[in-house]
Amino acid sequence: MNYEFTIIAPIYNEEENLERLEQQLSTYLEIAVKPTCILLVNDGSSDNSLSMIEKICARNEAFYFISFEKNCGLSAAIKAGFDYADTPLIGYIDSDLQTDPEDFNLLMQDIAEYDLVTGWRADRKDSFVKKMSSLIANGIRKSFTHDGMNDTGCPLKIIKADYAKRIPMFKGLHRFLPAMIMLQNGSVKQVPVRHYPRIAGKAKFHLWNRLLGPLVDCFAYLWMKKKYINYNIAKKG
């Protein structure tokens, strides 16, 4: 099948969520506005996730997977998804399903005019501490990048593959996807999407790495912005 859209789902020790993930993504495939496939990226899980992923992909034609030798982190899983996807559009969703796959259709309404469309958890269903730490982290990031985004941590995005595949790799990448598209002179838009409480599994980020990590990564971004190479081809022969 000629797929046009790949949804990347990074997975690290999410065995309690994988049956729901399969069900909800399968349901989305029935209503997707473009022919869609699912790329599950196992980030070196130490639980039963890989075995479950293999079974999910064996029984679903539109599902396939890659698996790391060891845990490399969320940014590495997203970047690997960008590298291995072979469709003109690439999406991203967290396997904890705190966002709804059906909302990809909301983002898809704007992707023709923009190079990245990201969700915005305007009515976020998280604890007070998690919401406040993310608010502070987003404020720090915006002051460095001037990307205008309220919620770059929202795990629901669509990116044109030409832009996604040119993003350089570094830890903390997932917080800077809109800024990295803007470095390429691309255009970005945020759209409010639904958000739900986590009902299974454990969160992989905590107060410390929500605050200190983004601050350190901002300095890495400023260095990259200064050194970034951008070019456009005027003629071929």
- 16 or 152: which leads in pLDDT: 16
Report the distance separating Cα 77 and Cα 174, nearest Å: 10
Across-strand partners of 37? 6
Give 224's pLDDT tier (boundaries 50, 70, 90): confident
Report the distance separating Cα 85 and Cα 39, nearest Å: 8
Q: Give the pTM.
A: 0.82
Residue with tokens 């599994």: 201
Per-residue pLDDT of 98-140, as tens digits, reads: 899 999 999 999 999 999 999 988 776 666 566 666 666 666 6
CATH number belonging to the domain at 5-227, selected among 3.90.79.10, 1.10.3720.10, 3.90.650.10, 3.90.550.10:
3.90.550.10
Per-residue pLDDT of 32-78, as tens digits, reads: 999 999 999 999 999 999 999 999 999 999 999 999 999 999 989 99
**Averaged confidence pLDDT in the chain:** 86
